[in-house]
Structure 1
Amino acid sequence: MKDILFYQLFESQSSTYTYLIADMETKEAAIIDPVRETVDRDLKLIRELGLYLMYILETHIHADHITGASEIRKNTMAQTAASALTEIDCVDILLEDGRILPLGNKNIKAITTPGHTSACMSFLFEGMVFTGDSLLIRGTGRTDFQEGSASKLYDSITQKLFYLPDETKVYPAHDYHGLTSTTIGLEKKFNPRIGVNRSKEEFKKIMEELQFATPTKMHLALPANTRCGKNTELE
């Protein structure tokens, strides 16, 4: 991967991964799922690397942190991009399934993967897929709010993500156990919720029986993130 740049960045409060990717020849870059608390770090890194930020990509409307999209957009030439199903006015590029975003001499492919929320997107880039909260490392996103659907999530993972080559590297939006990445092949084999050829009915039963706490920042994050992170109560 000498011709691309890849950084996996971490925000500890919400255990969120932010990703910075770029085409090294043109220095055109994209950032995926930035967090408001780490915007200064991200902007500093972009400047240090001499990158031209083209896109700020959101995998979904997050409930556990406030996005840094608005602040990064103010300080760069980048456009924000998210699923058309978010119906958010502040998003510059509303993405449909299969949309190609050129990044220098490379391409980012948007893949709709609803189920965790109704408007989840994954992004495929150079043998890597950024899955947001849809497919996690040995897990999946919850499906109990934001128009979540275990049935839709099962279809998104098994009919779209699991159709990618087994060697495709998977980079999720979160991990709570210190792991940083996985592969499609490993998740097919070892994911206890949806791997090992689990049926849709088995997956739905597993998801129904899980009990999750409400995200602590949800009352702030959801309304703020529908405005790309700007004009929030924290300002």
Structure 2
Amino acid sequence: MIFHQIGNGGCQSYLLGCPDKCTAILIDPSLAQLDRYRGLLAREGLTLRYVVDTHTHADHFSAARQLKEDFGVPAVMHRESMAPYADLRLDDGDMLIVGDIRLQALHTPGHTSDSLCLLAGDRVFTGDTLHVGGTGRTDLPTGDPDALYDSLFNRLLTLDAEIHVYPGHDYSGRQSSTIGREMAENPRLQKRERQAFIEMMDRLNLSAPQHMTEALRTNMGGGKTVDQLLAEASARVPFMSLSELRARLGERRNDFVILDVRERASYDTAHIPGARNLPRGQLELRVNHDLPDPTLRIVTVCEYGKVSTLAAATLRELGFRRATALDGGMKAWRELDYPVEEGHGSAWVGELSPEI
């Protein structure tokens, strides 16, 4: 078997490949490691057969949907998963075949209702059901400590003690363990009475994972991450440097507009001399009135350079083919001690029309 464990912070994903049939499966892929997966598949000469999420992740962004689209393979999850992009939904006991590799699905709810583990010969991929030295938490959406007790003590821990455990996260510095070692050494597994285990899980009082709301929104609902939206917008627009814009300030060209897309209060505090203000939230509603000439060269500006990129991409979609975004934002402009104006003065673009 070709085997790669790919770490991304505390998150772990796995590539399993059959060298004879040149096919592979990816388990719990992270969006941050897309290029690495592509490189590994190419280097090993493998064709991707399946991409699997062991559960709906709340702490990182799954790459399953992107890999599905890139490679034309099924995205696999448990049948209770809410992810709309999952094509192949497994029941307990179902098996995936990847060349000579057999992976059996074990439904192990508790961390989430759709949690599953994958048993492949001498190893089991436990997702967030069992960690090295810990277990998945049960205080996030669809978590259930009573169900986790059953999944652990009445399912996973009944496997052969020599089975290797490969978790979806590594918080201990140990990338793998065995069922027997976890039974003997994992602190949470020492609470072997159901009620004692449930009370322990209920008292963990853990902080919410970073990016939890965005991760659940994208992994559960099939939406895009903010970084994805920004990357797509960046690919559709050119940029102008801070120094280039500074040099153009004195040109007074009629076809050149600096468009500040921040809210009015931020614009009034300090803005680039001559800039007009049209907040990003009103752009589509006011663009016909405030920017009637589609041939204008427009440079969008915001505080950090992200909202302005989205605004420039929107303007291009609306037909302003010369729209560009400032590479940076007002924060960087001020740090360079470039000139600014205060108030709205004659540069202010009118308020939202009452007819809209």
Q: What TM-score does the superposition give when structure 2 sets the normalisation length?
A: 0.62
Alpha-carbon displacement from aligned partner over 1:144-198 (angstroms, at most 9, x marks no partner)? 1211111100100111111111000000010122110010011111111124x71
Please show how residues 191-206 of structure 1 align to structure 2 within 5 Å: 191-195=186-190, 198-206=192-200
Please show how residues 38-187 of structure 1 align to structure 2 within 5 Å: 38-187=33-182
Q: Of the two structures, which has the highest relative contact order with CA contacts closer than 8 Å and spacing of 6 or more? A: 1
1:131 Cα deviation from its structure 2 partner: 0.4
The residue type equivalent to 1:10 in the other structure is G
Equivalent pairs, count: 228
Q: How far apart in 2 are the matches of 1:190 and 1:124?
A: 22
The residue type equivalent to 1:158 in the other structure is F
Q: Secondary structure at the match of 2:97?
A: strand
Instruction: Check conservation: 2:83, 2:219, Cα contact below 8 A.
Output: no
Picking from 210, 217, 228, the partner of 2:211 is 217
Q: Secondary structure at the match of 1:194?
A: helix
Alpha-carbon displacement from aligned partner over 1:17-50 (angstroms, at most 9, x marks no partner)? 0100012211111000111111111111111111
Return the structure number with greater strand share: 1
Q: How far apart in 2 are the matches of 1:34 and 1:233?
A: 18
Q: Compare CA radii of gyration and give the structure with the larger one.
A: 2
Q: Which residue of 2 aligns with 1:6?
A: 3
Instruction: Check conservation: 2:132, 2:172, Cα contact below 8 A.
Output: no
1:89 Cα deviation from its structure 2 partner: 2.2
Instruction: Check conservation: 1:83, 1:120, Cα contact below 8 A.
Output: yes
Dislocated runs of 4+, deviation >4 Å: none
Identity of aligned residues (%): 36
Q: Does 1:232 align with 2:225?
A: yes
The residue type equivalent to 2:7 in the other structure is F
Q: What TM-score does the superposition give when structure 1 sets the normalisation length?
A: 0.93
Instruction: Check conservation: 2:95, 2:103, Cα contact below 8 A.
Output: yes
1:206 Cα deviation from its structure 2 partner: 1.0
Q: How far apart in 2 are the matches of 1:206 and 1:8?
A: 31
Instruction: Check conservation: 1:154, 1:194, Cα contact below 8 A.
Output: no
